[in-house]
Structure 1
């Protein structure tokens, strides 16, 4: 493909010193055979325009004039589409809708119409190019997963997105993060960690998320998926991230294996529990003791007074440290 003076050409022949290009309209059937016999140039007829590219000098020029307006819109559309394809092959995990909004901002309506075309939407074009470099996992089981499967998983900054993929004590664990995210974690003075099951892949028990503080926000910067939850798995993850020189406090859920791993690695760092997880832990304990059951997705309290007294334990984090022992004694006395 060659653009000369805003006219688009396709290569038809080549020699040692030059290449010959025809106007792209020669490949199109604009008119029937009877209208082709008309010798008068018409914009509806296939164009006979030609261009030549001289290899030695690296210059190109039109040798036969075109019978239509220039192809500026089409040329700009080809450039934009090539740019969209290039970015789509790098940004594999972003949704096409978000990419379209970012990559088509400020584009002329005529150019955008040419980019989309008639054969499909731009979103389909983006998904097709994202699939080129997307990781294809053909392993028969989880134990067969290795770093080779994730070698093409690259971030927008050109960094690998998988830090390790190991098998430790029969438990497969994969840590997803980048060098940039790790540097942000290591510079944080406060971390928040939480394990979730909703986004965990099949056959993996959980997805453990480590969030760092950037400004006034907490941002997920590392994701650990594993087939088990042991202290060794969390210790391996913590050590692989590096040394937290500025870390003062960690907000955790109430998973004992994770608490032990952080406490053993950073004994001087303050560990605190999340209030929401504390509330969930009390609810789980109440369910274990038979204080309430779930029926059709709703809680049914079996002992209202006793359950209400237990819920008062949820507010212990708001009690001053000096008064905590007195308040706990009063709570147990009321029970």
Structure 2
């Protein structure tokens, strides 16, 4: 089964584009990036990005749903969602480079899970960003391998 995004579904109810990038059904490293232009402006203005990938709720054609959240008026706001075909450094780098190109700014701080592919990709794409990792995920990952 393939997912094909019809044009009328690529906009929000209020009109703005919602599908920023869709690499195509035949791409083995398929990537769909879903923010609005307003949400991209929140990324531009935010000094802290919190990112996370989840596997349980992703459609079966994708390996994970990847999210970036920022604080807006003291509230945690999800501003970018992306469906990733895999969880490789290559696809994370592709995602971050595309976001960097569109946002044209680096966060001062980024908070993420302790996952080597994500960390390497962030370091490649955002050289001036301070990276903090989630202690819980680091310890639980270590515990799994002990």
TM-score (norm 1): 0.39
| CA distance in 1 between partners of 2:133 and 2:86 (Å) | 22
The Cα offsets for residues 177-212 of structure 1, whole Å up to 9 and x where unpaired, read as 111111111110000111101211112111111111
Query: Alignment RMSD, CA only?
Result: 1.9
The Cα offsets for residues 239-260 of structure 1, whole Å up to 9 and x where unpaired, read as 3222225x21100111211111
Name the counterpart of 1:198.
56
Higher relative contact order (CA 8 A, sep 6+): 2
- Cα distance 1:169–1:141, how it changes in 2: closer, same or farther (>3 A)? closer
- 1:230 is displaced (CA, Å) by 2.0
Contact 1:151 1:160 (8 Å CA) reproduced: no
Contact 1:150 1:162 (8 Å CA) reproduced: no
Question: Which of these residues, 58, 83, 95, is aligned with residue 225 of structure 1?
Answer: 83
Contact 2:21 2:32 (8 Å CA) reproduced: yes
- Runs of at least 4 residues of structure 1 off by over 4 A? none
Name the counterpart of 2:111.
251
Structure with the higher helix share, 1 or 2: 1
Higher Cα radius of gyration: 1
Name the counterpart of 2:140.
280
| CA distance in 2 between partners of 1:156 and 1:181 (Å) | 15
Q: In the alignment, does 2:18 pair up with 1:161?
A: yes
Name the counterpart of 1:151.
7
- 1:164 is displaced (CA, Å) by 0.8
The Cα offsets for residues 211-268 of structure 1, whole Å up to 9 and x where unpaired, read as 11212222111111122122232222223222225x2110011121111111111112
Structure 1 residues without counterparts, runs of 5 or longer = 1-139, 287-335
Total equivalences in the alignment: 141
- 1:169 is displaced (CA, Å) by 6.5
Question: Which range moved further: 208-217 or 275-284?
Answer: 275-284
- Cα distance 1:160–1:169, how it changes in 2: closer, same or farther (>3 A)? closer
TM-score (norm 2): 0.85
Name the counterpart of 1:262.
122
Structure 2 residues without counterparts, runs of 5 or longer = none
